[in-house]
Structure 1
């Protein structure tokens, strides 16, 4: 039996976010403080999204701070790509804890199907 699930992703686990960055080949720095152009700052996992003018920061409580100036300073689709990679890595980590094998399929529309074999 198949179950289709749509998931809203909150980036709360630093190690999972790091796994997502590695998956995507993106640079990151742990426990860093970033000052943004408006004078505000954030401390946490700093992620350098390709082609974004400024990095994003994932704080300890899972807040994502960054500015792409409504798409002028970076494509918002890339942040969604990070969320997708995070979701995949979170699901894989959960299944590893339950020793369930996971098969990953990249779909033509850019979505990913994870099939868990019990």
Structure 2
């Protein structure tokens, strides 16, 4: 039986943040207090390509803090790529915890299709 699911993502899992960074070939995230343009934020700092300041993920509140100066200091598409990568990695982590097999397929429109086989059989 097949089911299609849409996922609304909250950034709450440090392991999935790390996996998303690896997936996108980003530097490893750094835990701590991070300076943004005119403020600071505490959490996991992720440095996106060509962003002046990192995105900071507070896993306790699921809040993201960043300053991209309305796109002048960082392209929103890079943040969207990170959020998509996080969602995929988090779904894979949770499926595997339950003993399921996961297969991933990139689609032409930029979406990613995950097929999860219950029971681990491929």
- When normalised by structure 2's length, the TM-score is 0.89
- Per-residue CA deviation, residues 43-100 of structure 1 (Å, 9 max, x unaligned), is 2111100011111111242211001111111111111111111111111111111111
- When normalised by structure 1's length, the TM-score is 0.92
Name the CA distance, whole Å, in 1 between partners of 2:117 and 2:14: 27
Structure 1 residues 94, 29: CA separation in 2 closer, same or farther (over 3 Å shift)? closer
**1:64 maps onto 2:33 in alignment:** no
Unaligned 5+ segments in structure 1 are none
- Residue 33 of structure 1 deviates from its aligned partner by 1.4
Question: What secondary structure, in the 3-state scheme, does the structure 2 residue paired with 1:4 have?
Answer: coil
User: 1:1-118 counterparts in 2 under 5 A?
Assistant: 1-38=1-38, 40-61=39-60, 62-118=62-118
Question: What secondary structure, in the 3-state scheme, does the structure 2 residue paired with 1:15 have?
Answer: helix
Q: Kindly report the root-mean-square deviation, in angstroms, between the aligned alpha carbons of the 2 structures.
A: 1.2
Name the CA distance, whole Å, in 1 between partners of 2:112 and 2:66: 26
Question: What secondary structure, in the 3-state scheme, does the structure 1 residue paired with 2:113 have?
Answer: strand
Unaligned 5+ segments in structure 2 are none
Aligned 8 A contact 1:56 1:66 in 2: yes
